[in-house]
Structure 1
Amino acid sequence: MNLKKHLPNFITLLNLLCGCIAIVMVANLKFDLAFYFVSLGIFFDFFDGFFARKFNVAGPLGVQLDSLADMVTSGVVPGFVMYCLLTSGNYSTNFVLPYLGFIITLGACYRLANFNIDTRQSDSFIGLPTPANTLFIMSLPLVLDTFAGPFIQNTWFLLIITAVSAYVMNAEIPLFSLKIKNFSFQKYKLQIGFLVVSLIMIATLQFLAVPLIIVTYVLLSVVNNILAKK
């Protein structure tokens, strides 16, 4: 049996396993462990494609497995987290409102399906990638636990985050690629600067850095697009 051929798909399945474990952690309100398992799943999600390209074994099966695994790790899990946050919000007695958190799951599903047929996103992204959006959502309960932010406890704020999250994943917003293929500062100064700022944020702000990094990434991309047009 050719192990190289099956290694990328095995790594993809590890991503799926991490997503399944994260669901269990969220159900038990262990948001910190859910965050770590989702982060591990996203790590596997990066390396399945890396090894598929390295061993030249990329194929349609891998593409489908990747999307199905991402649907759990970066689709179901963040939607479930938002559902849990909404059940503890100001209007937690409302039966319908918490289920609106799964709009994130629907948005992720649409983006993943569209990504598979969009040939424009080979080197960069159009719309926020589902893993980045997932890290943003997964960090919210940890920020709440650490900083007790009043906004994160507000139901309407959470619903706005939900709607914006689903929209940004599918918006026609080009986002700059984070791939640095050589050490040319002049060519990759935006990427290098962003990575340096991100590391400083993580070192100083810990979990609060995660949503700030994602927001910074989107805003920098918008500014970069405007400057590029000029």
Structure 2
Amino acid sequence: MKRRISLPFFFAMAGCRNRCVYCDQARITGNWTAPSPEEVKQRLEKLDSPVEIGFFGGSFTCLPPELADSYLEATAAAPPGSTLRLSTHPLCLTPETIRRLKGMTRATCPVSCVEVGISSLDDEVLEACSRGYTAREALSAVERLLQENLHAGVQLMIGLPGQTPDSTFHDLRMLARLKGPRSMDLRIYPCLVLKGTPLESLWESGRFSPLQTEEAA
């Protein structure tokens, strides 16, 4: 079976509720401004075969509803058979938001996956990283997606401030119990020190040490 091409659009920091200590998406992607809904539509109109559209970076469902709907409506310009994958923040996956996502995609691209940026399921680690939610809230967001039969993805990180190998494996066990026999995507990212972030200050002061390559692998 031919693999579907992925076409990502990056929304650096768009919709983010707060600044995490390690994050600077504009710097790592080189994209300082998000494409407009019209720019997304124009790009999709030029395609002649189905793609998996990606709305990555920032927190898509934290955008103002009217703006998010405009982006969803723009996906109708994609060739038939296209799908949409998006990433977001756990606190922006309320039951109402999930229902709105499902309702909008009947007339646009169906959602192939909603990726939830969880980072960790250790409350102390989440607080140290200024994530703004608890492990319970993160798990509840994923469970709501699964209950609504929306394919869920989880983005975890390793090497975060205060994180240990034991807490990482605990995260994985909790997710395994939550998903049960249901399918779920998983991405695992190592925590890097980016220039200009609060984490850089912690590193320079000796209060944080990133994982070495061998440790992360």
TM-score by length of 2: 0.29
Structure with greater proportional strand content: 2
TM-score by length of 1: 0.28
Structure with greater proportional helix content: 1
